[in-house]
Amino acid sequence: MSNKIILKAEDLDGYLTQQDMDDLHRLDQMFKETMKSFDPVDEKKIIEGYDKMGHEMQKICSAHPAIKVYSFETDVQAQAEASRVIAKLRDERTDHQEFMYYSQRAYEMLFRMAYTNEPTVKKGHIIVKTPVTFPVQNYAVHKIPDIDAKINNSVMCVMLRGALLPSMIVSKEIEEFSSTGYITPFALFKISRNDTKNESNMEYILDLDKSFFNLEQLDGKDLIFADPMNAT
């Protein structure tokens, strides 16, 4: 007996409202219009197209406060840093080592936005042993935001092989910000796509026999999905 769960495209029916579908259709049309300037390349029209899409996405997201988009939530300096990092991730000339480095940068930035951007009165402290030993062993104290309540109930959920590195990065950030050195449990799911299907009837197959997770560790936890989507 196969221990597999098949997730079908129609399982998502009802999650998106008609307004959501209209918004997605409008963005799709805007992108198709922008793609007309890709070959031959018309930089001015490409910039204009992306500017229009950016404003439209900001308008859409403003109606959904639960959706947090980095460039809509952060200041101008942070947005410039994000643009440089994402440009490197999406550039076909970026080699593997650079890609790893900028992936780490990107997820560290996302972690800061999610957990440390809000001002907090309460501070935590990191006490470290320094290399200075004369006249006695020296120690240094560094203040960090106290975000234990936000992170010490987390579990990393890995749905795709490409999500393992981002998940490890976020898990390491949690460990370093936690006053107790909290190490997140990991839930690893084996999911494959049925490539005989098309977009309208797509199936995703969750193989429980090749997945590794503990239901008790997931119960009542904050589940974190670090989905890379680096290609797009």
Give bridge partners of residue 132 from the DSSP assignment: none
Q: Which two tokens stand for residue 146?
A: 């106290």
Of the candidates 190, 188, 187, the one whose C-alpha atom is nearest the C-alpha of residue 217 is 187
* pLDDT recorded at residue 201: 85
Between 18-35 and 43-62, two packed helices, what is the crossing angle to 10 degrees? 170
Q: Mean pLDDT over residues 174-192, rounded?
A: 93
* pLDDT recorded at residue 102: 94
Q: How confident is the model at residue 214 (pLDDT cuts 50, 70, 90)?
A: confident
Is 140's pLDDT higher than 80? yes
* pLDDT recorded at residue 121: 63
pLDDT, tens digit, 9 for 90 and up, residues 69-121: 999 998 888 899 999 999 999 999 999 999 999 999 999 999 999 998 877 76
d(CA 147, CA 177): 7
Asked whether the beta carbons of 164 and 136 are under 8 A apart, the reply is no
Regarding beta strands 186-193 and 154-158, do their DSSP bridges make them parallel or antiparallel, or are they unpaired?
Answer: parallel
Is 226's pLDDT higher than 80? yes
Q: Mean pLDDT over residues 9-21, rounded?
A: 87
Q: Mean pLDDT over residues 6-18, rounded?
A: 86
* pLDDT recorded at residue 217: 82
Q: What is the mean pLDDT of the chain?
A: 91
Residue whose structure tokens are 């449990």: 185
The DSSP string of 42-108 is -HHHHHHHHHHHHHHHHHHHHT-TT---HHHHS-HHHHHHHHHHHHHHH-TT--HHHHHHHHHHHHH
* pLDDT recorded at residue 207: 93
* pLDDT recorded at residue 122: 82
Q: How confident is the model at residue 230 (pLDDT cuts 50, 70, 90)?
A: low
* pLDDT recorded at residue 126: 87
Q: Mean pLDDT over residues 170-195, rounded?
A: 93
Indicate the pTM of the whole model. 0.84
